[in-house]
Chains A and B, each alone.
Chain A
């Protein structure tokens, strides 16, 4: 279980203190899928980075299975059981896809396992194993390899930052299936940051972050119906909503 208590992030930008995350608390149970959504610039990606240790909070606590991980480094959190899928994964000249998957898994993976991981995200595996993760790959291919790399290892908690961004419709269906399967196993906790209705509808609970604060949190049934009209910051033109 993940517990986030009173998390605060106030970075200094050009000598001015900014309020990016303002006293956010929430929990994610074992096997639960929490989808974080909300308007752009609201603090969702920053929250994900704080959980992974990529950014350091100015206050609050993060506990994984009761252990305080607030002061742990990124690598220590990874080894404690957190997997992280980047919104815009970096490219690596000279590194092959199969090497990357083995690094992600923490062990040398046989070709068969690499192929399965890639097939599950909609990539024809044999074509990709020896390819380098460089500029010859499209944004969508990068994103799918990123997701495959996170799924290469068992984690207590998966965090995916906008996994659907840059992925074509066909691959998106496969991606949704992957998340559904992961969720059905109910072994790992999953945090998904997303704007995609189909992903939001998979959630056990939905949390809306706006202006660095939790605007709303609750079960899918509680939060989803009003989401498009109010919580995401949109103004709906349908008089029935207002």
Chain B
């Protein structure tokens, strides 16, 4: 069993709420290499031969299986690019808990780019959880640029739950989804930025298959002088439904830019986009004050609940 230092352990606790253990199907990527990994009867994890990354093959027999694949970067100045491909066979039911935490105590930038591709077979059900987190007293930036490609076959269901908690100086998130007939996509994106952080989230969902449906919810809080940009795009090429909802709380001197794009290429493509940006509601503050909470406590409660 691989030895895990204290800093790494504390980061794992932040990014893998379910608790990371070296059991079952798992892979811990640490400072640019795979520190430890394990497969099970239903989940095979193989290291790629030609480049950094792994292939994760999930059999159709998987029912409620959980795969843990956290990434931890603790060396300042590292630039880690990794390609992970997931092959989820028809009928599988699986939860994949990913996430990346950077501890940067140096003056050089630390960066991790995770390029993930999901091939989801007929009727398979995937829940993908991804938490991003940064810490460390160094002046070097903590940078995360995830690329997530999702290909859904007929009647596949994919739930993407992404959270950027705090401490990530710069992130550019690129998500691309192609949806087959009767497939379903649920996206919940939660983001909090502070100080001078920058976050960009581009998402393109293409509903090619008849009866496909997508629900995309984005909630964010921008504090300090941070800047957030959201650009979700839904393209309906067949009879389909999509609902995109972007809600942001803006504070201090932050900037939030929400650019909706909906593109219907079929008469029965029903696509809705809602976007709202606003400061913390004063009536909510007063209501919480009447419970005996101070302004600071009320503000923290509103943000915590908004981001769940």
Contact = CB atoms under 8 A, between A and B. Distances in A.
Interface of A: 52, 54, 73-75, 78-79, 83-84, 86, 89-90, 92-96, 99, 103-104, 106, 149, 153
B305 A95 contact: yes
30 contacts: A74-B286, A74-B290, A75-B289, A75-B293, A75-B294, A78-B289, A78-B290, A78-B291, A78-B292, A83-B290, A84-B290, A86-B287, A90-B283, A90-B284, A92-B284, A92-B302, A93-B219, A93-B247, A93-B305, A93-B306, A94-B305, A94-B306, A94-B308, A95-B301, A96-B305, A99-B305, A103-B288, A104-B291, A106-B292, A149-B291
Contacts of B301: 95, 103
Interface in B273-295: 281, 283-284, 286-294
A89 B290 contact: no
Nearest to A73: B289
Nearest to B219: A94
A75 B302 CA distance: 16
B176 to A, nearest CB: 27
A90 B287 contact: yes
Contacts of A99: 305
A153 B290 CA distance: 11
Which of B284, B292, B302, B307 neighbours the largest number of chain A CB atoms within 10 Å of its CB? B292
Contacts of B292: 75, 78-79, 106
Interface in B200-231: 219
B243 to A, nearest CB: 13
A79 B286 CA distance: 14
Contacts of B308: 94
Given A89-B287, A94-B308, 9 more contacts: A73-B289, A75-B294, A78-B289, A86-B290, A90-B284, A90-B287, A93-B219, A95-B301, A103-B301
A86 to B, nearest CB: 7
Contacts of A103: 288, 291, 293, 301
Given A90-B281, A93-B247, A54 B286 contact: yes
Interface residues of B, number: 20
B163 to A, nearest CB: 13
B135 to A, nearest CB: 25
Nearest to A84: B290
Contacts of A153: 291
A92 B289 contact: no
B307 A94 contact: yes
A158 to B, nearest CB: 11
B294 to A, nearest CB: 5
Contacts of B305: 92-96, 99
Nearest to A49: B286
Select the residue from B247, B287, B306 with max chain A CB neighbours within 10 A. Answer: B287
A86 B289 CA distance: 12
A153 B291 CA distance: 9
A74 B285 CA distance: 10
B115 to A, nearest CB: 31
B281 to A, nearest CB: 6
Contacts of B306: 92-95
